[in-house]
């Protein structure tokens, strides 16, 4: 490797080592100070690059890609507020444990606090939201500095996929010239000869990282297994999963061996998949309604919880009020149980633990355990019959999510926005034996980068991509739509337009108007059709009863379609509540 100046060499070594360490994708935003990084990364054959003009969208796009693959994705930006625009996605990546590597270009140290243009304090810009932070030294074409650089890059990439995975920030100062112009004598001509390791690196990463995922000892597994074995009534509760996804078969093995039903969050990786067809495995998806009426059911003696805290408030409260012994499993020793009723904290990789426990438990698949599971299976059957009837007869936003769960292609990647879409998928998305990878931004539950995150996820897979978003979320990240054309990602974008934040109808503020309408629900009356013209998308507006056909047709079409489904937020909310009451009544009468 040679280079016309030290900055170019520095950038090339960074790109080379990123690729060697396993970074296969990078999202670049335009700017001057980052020139050495951008030129080198864009030029590297081993790194697929995406150009996203707005840094907020860029970081969310990278987040989506990393979330879908579980592999670290890099972002590169210039100095100043550009770097600050990464912050929302950094917070989401931190809280939902997604490997993101942030490379922010910076001015050289003497320009700090000097009044120099586009110069801000970028030291530890993201605070505790990153797993690791370093300011790189100023580029120098020396043996030791370049070995240090390669080592730092490998450590940084390694930290993004540590336990827990998350974002890492490398702040990268450069002084001019930033472009690959010849600077005579800057890089010694014989540098590669004198320092081949530093300049060329090794075959593969400079530093190979080996890091285990935490497991329990055999004795500890046996002890938990004995507790599961002794229980006549038990539940497996799966909240949103960390990337890379859970081993669904291992959890299904445990369900079959214990006889416990799986209460599967839509983001758990367990609501959908082939494991639903397994004998002795009951995957439940209607608990967000019917558990609200299950107080008179006998309480579960033991609950094993994996993943993050479930989306369903009804489920969280049911566990608070009814669960006996409650094991919370977290590979990073994190605490993701905000009702504070858990009794045991198991620091272990959930997939491996499930496999280990499945091999230990000696069979709860018959007798009282199976009776308890069948109670859930029966509730599921009745609940989904009720939902089928409601879908046929009534109008509510949940119909859209029910249709998406039922009719999305197999396989598909389905991204659901925060606010009502993820809640409605939780309540109305029937478990299905199809390969649906369902994703959302539930780490911090922002509505600010939804479109970009979905498109980033879509960039990493050949699956058809379906995004279900609300109108405020769509508005918030409409910049992100440019990635359809610029990054070549197609999607079916389902825009549930209830003219504002329908979610606020579920909160007590609904009864305080003003300010409810003007300050909370915020109807805006925006016509979104011109966004399709602006970004080259097909657009159609349908009534709720026309959605299923429009969705089916979109599967046959190339390019990206926006299907806007128009609802009245208040009446949708009332219908949702009424259906919920009926589901609760079902269970109350079946004690």
Ligand X SMILES: Cc1ncc(C[n+]2csc(CCOP(=O)(O)OP(=O)(O)O)c2C)c(N)n1
Task: Give residues 310-349 in contact with Mg ion (rule: CB under 5 A).
Answer: none
Regarding 205 and contact with Mg ion (CB under 5 A), the answer is: no
Which residue in the set 401, 447, 457, 482 belongs to the binding site for ligand X (CB under 6 A)? 447
Tokens of 50: 């995406």
Query: What is the distance between the alpha carbons of residues 431 and 406, in angstroms, rounded to a whole number?
Result: 9
Q: Among all residues, whose Cβ is closest to ligand X? A: 470
CB 328 within 8 A of CB 192: no
Regarding 85 and contact with ligand X (CB under 6 A), the answer is: no
Regarding 470 and contact with ligand X (CB under 6 A), the answer is: yes
* Alpha-carbon distances of 518 from 149, 266, 380, 505, rounded to whole Å: 53, 32, 39, 13
Regarding 480 and contact with ligand X (CB under 6 A), the answer is: no
Give the one entry of ligand X, Mg ion, none that residue 420 binds, where binding means its C-beta sits below a cut-off of 5 to 8 angstroms depending on kind. ligand X
CB 93 within 8 A of CB 63: yes
Q: How far is the CB of 571 from ligand X (least distance, A)?
A: 13
In which residue are the tokens 């790109």 written? 15
Regarding 443 and contact with ligand X (CB under 6 A), the answer is: no
Regarding 477 and contact with Mg ion (CB under 5 A), the answer is: no
Q: How far is the CB of 422 from ligand X (least distance, A)?
A: 9
> Which residue lies nearer to ligand X by CB, 43 or 570?
570
Regarding 380 and contact with ligand X (CB under 6 A), the answer is: no
Regarding 471 and contact with Mg ion (CB under 5 A), the answer is: yes
CB 526 within 8 A of CB 520: no
Q: How far is the CB of 499 from ligand X (least distance, A)?
A: 8
> Which residue lies nearer to Mg ion by CB, 301 or 397?
397
Q: Among all residues, whose Cβ is closest to Mg ion? A: 470
Regarding 398 and contact with Mg ion (CB under 5 A), the answer is: no
In which residue are the tokens 């993004």 written? 160
Regarding 38 and contact with ligand X (CB under 6 A), the answer is: no
Give the one entry of ligand X, Mg ion, none that residue 122 binds, where binding means its C-beta sits below a cut-off of 5 to 8 angstroms depending on kind. none
Instruction: Indicate if the alpha-carbon torsion angle 44, 50, 51, 52 is positive or negative.
Output: negative
Regarding 498 and contact with ligand X (CB under 6 A), the answer is: yes
Task: Give residues 392-431 in contact with ligand X (rule: CB under 6 A).
Answer: 417-420
Report the candidate in 293, 213, 203, 199 with the shortest Cα–Cα distance to residue 246.
213
Regarding 451 and contact with ligand X (CB under 6 A), the answer is: no
Q: Enumerate residues 6+ apart whose C-beta is below 8 A from 567.
A: 395, 396, 397, 496, 497, 498, 502, 544
> Which residue lies nearer to Mg ion by CB, 233 or 427?
427
CB 249 within 8 A of CB 275: yes
Regarding 544 and contact with Mg ion (CB under 5 A), the answer is: no
* Alpha-carbon distances of 302 from 325, 327, 336, rounded to whole Å: 5, 8, 18
Q: Could you tell me how many residues of this chain bind ligand X (CB under 6 A)?
A: 16
Give the one entry of Mg ion, ligand X, none that residue 447 binds, where binding means its C-beta sits below a cut-off of 5 to 8 angstroms depending on kind. ligand X
Query: What is the distance between the alpha carbons of residues 577 and 564, in angstroms, rounded to a whole number?
Result: 23
Query: What is the distance between the alpha carbons of residues 562 and 551, in angstroms, rounded to a whole number?
Result: 10
Q: Which residues bind Mg ion (CB under 5 A)?
A: 470-471, 498, 502
Which spans of this chain sit near ligand X (rule: CB under 6 A)? Answer: 417-420, 445-448, 470-473, 498, 501-503
């Amino acid at each position: 490797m040679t280079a016309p100046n030290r900055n170019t060499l520095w950038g090339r070594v960074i790109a080379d080592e990123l690729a060697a360490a396993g970074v296969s994708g990078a999202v670049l935003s335009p700017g001057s100070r980052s020139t050495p990084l951008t030129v080198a990364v864009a030029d590297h054959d081993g790194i697929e690059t995406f150009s996203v003009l707005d840094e907020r969208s860029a970081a969310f796009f990278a987040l989506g890609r990393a979330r879908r693959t579980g592999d670290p994705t890099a972002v590169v930006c210039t100095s100043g507020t550009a770097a600050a625009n990464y912050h929302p996605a950094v917070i989401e990546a931190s809280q939902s444990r997604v490997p993101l590597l942030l490379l922010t270009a910076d001015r050289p140290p003497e320009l700090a606090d000097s009044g120099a243009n586009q110069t801000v304090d970028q030291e530890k810009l993201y605070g505790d939201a990153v797993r690791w932070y370093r300011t790189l030294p100023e580029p120098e074409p020396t043996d030791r500095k370049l070995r240090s650089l390669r080592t730092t890059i490998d450590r940084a990439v390694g930290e993004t996929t540590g336990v827990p995975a998350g974002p890492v920030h490398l702040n990268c100062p450069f002084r001019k010239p930033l472009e690959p112009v010849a600077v005579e004598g800057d890089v010694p001509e014989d540098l590669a000869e004198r320092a081949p390791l530093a300049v060329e690196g090794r075959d593969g990463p400079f530093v190979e990282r080996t890091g285990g995922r935490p497991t329990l000892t055999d004795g500890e597994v046996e002890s938990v297994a004995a507790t599961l074995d002794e229980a006549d009534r038990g539940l497996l509760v799966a909240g949103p999963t960390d990337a890379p996804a859970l081993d669904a078969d291992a959890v299904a093995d445990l369900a079959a061996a214990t006889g416990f039903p799986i209460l599967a969050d839509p983001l758990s990786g367990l609501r959908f998949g082939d494991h639903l067809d397994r004998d002795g495995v009951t995957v439940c998806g209607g608990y967000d309604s019917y558990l609200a009426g299950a107080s008179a059911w006998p309480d579960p003696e033991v609950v094993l919880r994996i993943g993050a805290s479930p989306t369903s408030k009804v489920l969280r409260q049911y566990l608070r009020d009814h669960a006996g012994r409650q094991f919370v499993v977290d590979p990073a020793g994190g605490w993701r149980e905000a009702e504070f009723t858990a009794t045991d904290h198991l620091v272990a990789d959930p997939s491996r633990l499930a496999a280990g426990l499945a091999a230990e438990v000696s069979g709860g698949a018959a007798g009282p355990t199976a009776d308890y599971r069948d109670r859930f299976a029966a509730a599921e059957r009745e609940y989904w019959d009720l939902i089928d009837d409601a879908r046929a007869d009534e109008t509510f936003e949940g119909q859209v999510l029910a249709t998406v769960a039922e009719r999305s292609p197999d396989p598909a990647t389905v991204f659901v926005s925060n606010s009502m879409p993820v809640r409605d998928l939780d309540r109305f998305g029937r478990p299905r034996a199809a390969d649906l990878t369902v994703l959302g931004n539930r780490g911090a539950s922002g509505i600010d980068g939804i479109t970009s995150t979905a498109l980033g996820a879509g960039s990493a897979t050949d699956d058809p991509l379906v995004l279900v978003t609300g109108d405020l979320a769509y508005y918030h990240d409409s910049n992100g739509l440019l990635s359809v054309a610029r990054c070549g990602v197609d999607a079916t974008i389902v825009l549930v337009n209830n003219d504002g934040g329908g979610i606020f109808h579920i909160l007590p503020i609904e009864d305080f108007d003003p300010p409810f309408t003007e300050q909370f629900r915020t109807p805006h009356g925006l016509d979104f059709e011109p966004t399709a013209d602006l970004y080259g998308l097909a657009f159609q507006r349908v009534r709720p009863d026309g959605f299923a056909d429009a969705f089916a047709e979109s599967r046959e079409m190339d390019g990206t379609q926006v299907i806007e489904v128009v609802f009245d937020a208040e009446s949708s909310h009332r219908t949702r509540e009424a259906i919920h009451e009926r589901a609760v009544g079902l269970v109350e009468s079946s004690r």
